[in-house]
Amino acid sequence: MRLRYFVTNLALRGFFGLALALPYNRRVPLMGWLAARVIAPLAGWRRRVRDNLAHVRPDLPRAEVSRLARAVPNNAGRTLIEIYSGEEFVTRAARAPIEGPGLQALEDARATGRPVILVTAHFGNYDVARAALIARGHDMGSLYRRMRNPYFNAHYVRSISAIGTPMFEQGRRGMVQMVKHLKAGGVLGVLTDLHVYEAPELIFFGKPARTSLVTAELALKYDALLIPTFSIRQPNGLDFIVRLEAPIPHSDARTMTQEVNDRLEALVRAHMDQWFWIHRRWKNAGDTAP
């Protein structure tokens, strides 16, 4: 396993090195192309996209499924090289317009010292919102999950930390640091669209999907606003609009988390090629693939 991780990391670093040698507006499309045409077939991403779509969107025409099997890895490749582009990415992301009713709620919370949790997903480029809000003076931290590949994780964490800190790794130590940040009235960004073992089954795209309630539980415990936040890639493939939706009303963790799923689903349906369908969101998705 470690040998496979090592070889995979070497290949990815080679792709990154090739792309980073080019100007930003050329490297991003190139990495998208490489991800769609080279990495996706080797990594099994195309099959994963098809399996997930067959599970939750069997109504899609075959031509649209084929398009998404290429477009989704393209967006993932662009996202990776953007994150690795350091200051060039941060400068561009800082210029992204921020819209939506959640923006005023965020500013009001800053004025009163109330903590805020920005709940987001592997959609568009999830780090754009973080860079844009840090550039506007928000004390924003982020919770991240350690990558399985230890070689890739080492330089990935360095890259996402260069966009902004603090960063909190999932685990006991990271949780303690994160809670301290929230109690001080900070802003926290959390990705919540991955399968979590032992989590309750909620509904996503009409199918059961195990979804962690931790984000909503934190919002309730520390009286934090819970604002769905998404960075939507624009047609030129390089720029973004950051959307902060209306805060999710406090009720109970399960109801709040289901609304997070519902809001994300609505956005994904409008931009099917921007969500990372390459993840195993539904563990039984392959069972329904043709």
The per-residue pLDDT for range 96-117, each reduced to its tens digit, is 999 999 999 999 999 999 999 9
Task: Lowest mean pLDDT of 5-19, 69-83, 170-184, name the range.
Answer: 5-19
More confident residue, 23 or 163: 23
φ, ψ of residue 244 in degrees (nearest 5)? -105, 110
Return the domain boundaries, the chain. Answer: 2-87, 96-274
pLDDT value, residue 286: 64
More confident residue, 121 or 147: 121
pLDDT at 148 over 80: no
In Å, what is the CA distance from 218 to each residue of 48, 119, 144?
Answer: 32, 11, 16
Token pair in block for residue 198 = 């032992």
- What's the pTM value of the predicted model, to 2 decimals? 0.91
pLDDT at 69 over 90: yes
Residue of 208, 234, 260, 232 lying closest to 123 (CA atoms): 232
Contact 34, 77 (CB under 8 A): yes
CB–CB of 71/79 below 8 Å? no
Q: Are 193 and 234 in contact (CB under 8 A)?
A: no
Query: What is the spatial distance between Cα 163 and Cα 191, in angstroms, rounded to a whole number?
Result: 16
**β-pairing, 116-120 with 187-191?**
parallel
